[in-house]
Homo-oligomer: A and B are copies of this chain.
Amino acid sequence: MHQPPTMRDVAERAGVSPMTVSRVLHDSPAVSAEAKTRVLAAVNELGYHRNEVARSLRLGRDTGLVGLVITNLANPFYSQLAVGVESVLAEHGIRAVLGNSGEDVERERQMIRDLVARRVDGIIVVPAGNDQSHLETVRLRGTPVVLGARPPDGVPLDCVLVDDFTGARAATVRLIDAGHQRIGFLGLPPATWTGSERFRGYCAALDAAGLPLDDRYVRRVGRGHGAAERAAAELLGLRKPPTALFSANNRNTIGAFRAIRAAGVDTALAGFDDFELADTLGLPLTVVSYDAAEIGRQAGRLLLDRMLDAADGGADGPPRRMIVPTTLIDYP
């Protein structure tokens, strides 16, 4: 097995010093056309490409790698986010190093340590828990950090969020405008940012319309299989059932759909998150849609910005917060 060629090999073949090769590869103007030609020829003949590991070590930075720590890549929302990140980074010749934390803070912590040890130029992370002190530590040590899809908690980090509040409010308003006065809420565990913002949007819409918030119409649904459908069925089974439901994510929307169909009622339905086949359910449905990849793209841009600052010696400005807008879609 032959080793990959080094700059020295190229230099010998071209009859110049390694330094000249380096200059050619950097498009330095201080190289004669003739030397440049010879070097490029040698590069081609040997199939040479620069050893990025050595380069990074020498420069002490600029590995061209960015850490991307995600809670659950199997979830289309996060994989789209990853696509967005990747596309922005790729334009700048930077690659993402993947980490799937599985919502486990300890794994997240290990991954961050590992990424720092690998000297990545920055990190984009969907934080798994509320303790983000390790992320702040990393940032203070000089590695830019941007949060995706979840807000910073007590630490001054950049982040990109969905406009959960406005989206939830708009969907609820749509139901109210259609004449509904008793609107059930199928929410998420309250500890999550997304869950509480969407609930806040729901409340705000009711409030603005002068409708009372009735706790009997509010259900928080965990991850369990069928939990959403059961909760929706409960609401529909009340003595005075809601005439419409607003569900806080696509899982809940699907559960609500099943419950409505099983009960044979014509309860109106609106929900956060668009999903495939939403138009085939055979019942009117309003969904709050947004561009998940855009979250990734914006996070990527924020990070690139910080990376440039850091390279310049970095007067790191105040934390920034980007909000990705939502739109309402009515099916069918």
Chain A interface residues toward B at CB < 8 A: 1-4, 47, 49-54, 56-57, 60, 63-65, 68, 73-74, 76, 79-80, 82-83, 86-87, 90, 93, 95-100, 113-119, 137, 141-142, 254, 257-258, 261, 275-277, 280-282, 293, 313-314
Contact = CB atoms under 8 A, between A and B. Distances in A.
18 contacts: A1-B313, A2-B141, A3-B60, A51-B117, A53-B53, A53-B56, A57-B57, A73-B79, A74-B83, A74-B293, A76-B76, A79-B82, A86-B98, A93-B114, A95-B97, A95-B115, A277-B277, A282-B282
A329 B152 CA distance: 43
A74 B68 contact: no
Contacts of A65: 97, 118
Contact of A83 (B50, B68, B73, B276): B73
Contacts of A313: 1
A100 B118 contact: no
Contact of A280 (B76, B93, B137, B258): B258
B86 A80 contact: no
A83 B53 CA distance: 26
B100 A87 contact: yes
B90 A142 contact: no
Contacts of A277: 254, 275-277, 280
B83 A100 contact: yes
